[in-house]
Amino acid sequence: ANLVGDIVNAKTVPVGPPAFPYSSAYNPGYDTFKTTYANRAPVVYAAANDGMLHVIDGSLTSSTIAGSAPGNELWAYIPNAVISGPTGNPGVTGLVSLGNPNFVHRYFVDATPTMADVDFGRTSGGSGTSDWRTVLIGGLGKGGKVLYALDITNPSSVTTETAAAGKVLWEFTDSAMGFTYGQPIVT
């Protein structure tokens, strides 16, 4: 098993099959999405101060994810801002500082992410073909001034680094942005 860094201000987020009570009348295609992913493997997302959002097999007895077992880390995501740190000096405030023999605790990925099912076909107010996905959106809390979004629709499809990189939808930062303490709200 892989080690996970300290978790201070974040809570783990368990994600299983789609279960939002969306009405098909107002959310076309959601019932089909729910049926397609009715057996989606349970996964736990854990934001930690080792600079990573850990993606852990949440199965209780036996895993349905090929090559995995309950409690195994499937992959991890490191937000770009964590690598360089808030000062832009990786060895002082970034991820590399974790290896410093004079280690001082730092916050890196220190906020609870939010999970939501989103119809990408209608995100801009359009009425296009439905394209439902499950997304995880989070910030860094005391760790930085960034928001990130991942496509977590199919955890079984992440079998390579390229596949994991393809799950990153975006990272957002701005010079006027403050630290991201609250959980994002998806509307």
Pairwise CA distance, residues 107 & 160, whole Å: 28
Q: What pLDDT sits at residue 126?
A: 67
Tens-digit pLDDT string for the chain (187 aa): 567 899 999 999 999 999 999 988 899 999 999 999 999 999 999 999 999 999 999 999 888 888 888 999 999 999 999 998 877 888 888 888 888 888 889 999 999 999 999 999 887 766 678 999 999 999 999 998 999 999 999 998 998 999 999 999 999 998 888 998 889 999 8
Q: Which amino acid is at 39?
A: N
The answer to whether the CB of 14 falls within 8 A of the CB of 117 is no
Instruction: Calculate the alpha carbon distances from 177 to 89, 119, 122, 135 in Å.
Output: 19, 27, 27, 22
Q: What is the DSSP letter of 40?
A: P
pLDDT in tens, 102-130: 888 999 999 999 999 999 988 776 667 89
Closest CA to 79 of 11, 187, 167, 181: 167
Q: Which pLDDT score is estimated for 175?
A: 84
pLDDT given for residue 163 in this prediction: 93
3-state class (DSSP) for residue 81 = helix
Residue 8, CA atoms < 13 Å, CB-side half-sphere? 14
Three-state DSSP class for residue 180? strand
**What is the spatial distance between Cα 89 and Cα 92, in angstroms, rounded to a whole number?**
6
- pLDDT at res. 2: 66
For residue 3, the model assigns a pLDDT of 79
Residues with Cβ within 8 Å of 54's Cβ and at least 6 positions away in sequence, in order, are: 2, 4, 45, 46, 47, 48, 73, 76
How deeply is 169 buried, as exposed, middle or buried, from its count of CB atoms within 10 A (0-12, 13-18, 19+)?
middle
